[in-house]
Amino acid sequence: MDFLLILKIILIPALLLAGGFIKRREAVGYYGALLTGDKLQKLITLPAYVLKRVKYEAKISYDRRIKVNIVEFYGKPDSDARFLLHQAHKLTLVLIALEFCLIIGTQSQADAGYFIVCAVCLGAAYMLPDSKLNTDIKKRKLEIMLDFPDFLVKLTLLINAGMNLSKAWEKITESANKTRALGRELDMALMEIKSGKSESKAYEDFALRCRMQEVTRVVSILLQNIKKGNAELVSILRVHANECWEMRKNAAKKLGEEASSKMLLPMAIMLLSILLIVTTPAVLALQGI
């Protein structure tokens, strides 16, 4: 085996681990708790530190879209640090994929097939964090879509019973499931109000974080009620609650259809297995085996 190739294979993991150990304090000093619990914490420390030192920014359109997605999923606070961490994940996975390609290169010839495999591995490693982020955003939007109608019905009932908006919001938040996206956003809005932010601004930021048309419309109605008052608030909220329930039914129906389509492949495999089990003895008997 070529000595230079062996050196390259050893160099990448050694650089990541040793450099990460040396620069851990500087990286933690900037990224803080964002690094806590990260599965690649020991490996991404050096790339994260380097990206911060070179002041990497979202200058190209693709990076700007990633930055927008990060703001949508995590919120604007710490978005710059989270963007750099996201890029550090991509860089680390690319280096790991490169290490994998070098190891394969020691066992095979550098032909066209080898370069195709390397290109696929490097491309997949680069796109994996972006794909995961997009999946997380879709899952978050779906959670909000499914939970928002229930929140809106409760809000309508409490306001109709004579409770003001802030008290109704607080009561719903206390019983909300904080492990789901909408529950976390409701709780964040409540904490912002208690910390001194105006109700109007807190509700407006809540709508911006949720990034859904239905939520934005309802929040606009609530803001109008806060500023000018609206005697028809309850009836308007009822209409929107009914629309949101229809939206939830359609989403549930779509999820059911997707689940049914996903079952087609396992069912086809099971049917093929049964056919093989039934027909194999007959085929063997015909062949005199």
pLDDT band, very low/low/confident/very high, at 261 (cuts 50, 70, 90): confident
- Quick one: average pLDDT of 284-288? 72
pTM of the model: 0.71
Tokens (6 digits) for 157: 């009932």
Tokens (6 digits) for 200: 């109007």
95 with 183, same domain: the answer is no
Pairwise pLDDT comparison (279 vs 22), residue with the higher score:
279
Hunting for tokens 């306001």 — which residue is that?
159
170 with 246, same domain: the answer is yes
15-19, 79-83, 226-230: range with lowest mean pLDDT: 15-19
Average pLDDT of every residue of the chain: 78
Q: Tell me the per-residue pLDDT of 22-55, one tens digit each, with 9 for 90 and over.
A: 445 544 455 555 555 555 556 666 777 777 777 8
Q: Tell me the per-residue pLDDT of 195-245, one tens digit each, with 9 for 90 and over.
A: 888 888 888 888 888 888 888 888 888 888 887 776 678 888 888 888 888
Q: Has residue 79 been placed in a domain?
A: yes
pLDDT at 22: 45
Q: What does the CA dihedral 180, 184, 187, 191 come to, rounded to 10 degrees?
A: 170
* pLDDT at 285 exceeding the cut of 60: yes
pLDDT at 3: 47
Tell me the CA distances in angstroms from 107 to 5, 6, 104, one per residue in order.
Answer: 12, 12, 5
49 with 152, same domain: the answer is no
* Percentage of the chain modeled with pLDDT above 90: 0
95 with 146, same domain: the answer is no
Task: Count the domains in the chain.
Answer: 2
pLDDT at 31: 54
Q: Tell me the per-residue pLDDT of 125-182, one tens digit each, with 9 for 90 and over.
A: 888 888 988 988 888 888 888 888 888 888 888 888 888 888 888 899 888 888 888 8
- Quick one: average pLDDT of 82-100? 82
Q: Which residues contact 130 (CB under 8 A, 6 or more apart)?
A: 66, 90
Q: Has residue 132 been placed in a domain?
A: no
248 with 146, same domain: the answer is yes
Distance CA 47, CA 91 (A): 7
147 with 39, same domain: the answer is no
The CATH number of the domain holding residue 206 is 1.20.81
For residue 27, the tally of other CB atoms under 10 A from its CB is 25
DSSP class per residue in 237-256: HHHHHHHHHHHHHHHHHHHH
Pairwise pLDDT comparison (12 vs 85), residue with the higher score:
85
pLDDT at 207: 87
55 with 161, same domain: the answer is no
> Helix, strand, coil shares of the chain as percentages rounded to 5?
85, 0, 15
Domain stops at, among 107, 128, 150: 107
160 with 208, same domain: the answer is yes
Question: Residues in the chain, how many?
Answer: 289
151 with 92, same domain: the answer is no
Domain stops at, among 107, 134, 164: 107
pLDDT at 71: 83
Radius of gyration of the chain from its Cα atoms, rounded to whole angstroms: 27
pLDDT at 36: 54
Q: Has residue 233 been placed in a domain?
A: yes
pLDDT at 246: 82
102 with 147, same domain: the answer is no
182 with 237, same domain: the answer is yes
Surface-to-core class of residue 12, CB atoms within 10 Å of its CB (0-12 exposed, 13-18 middle, 19+ buried): middle
For residue 128, the tally of other CB atoms under 10 A from its CB is 15
- Domain span holding position 87: 3-107
Tell me the CA distances in angstroms from 147 to 182, 212, 259, one per residue in order.
Answer: 7, 12, 20
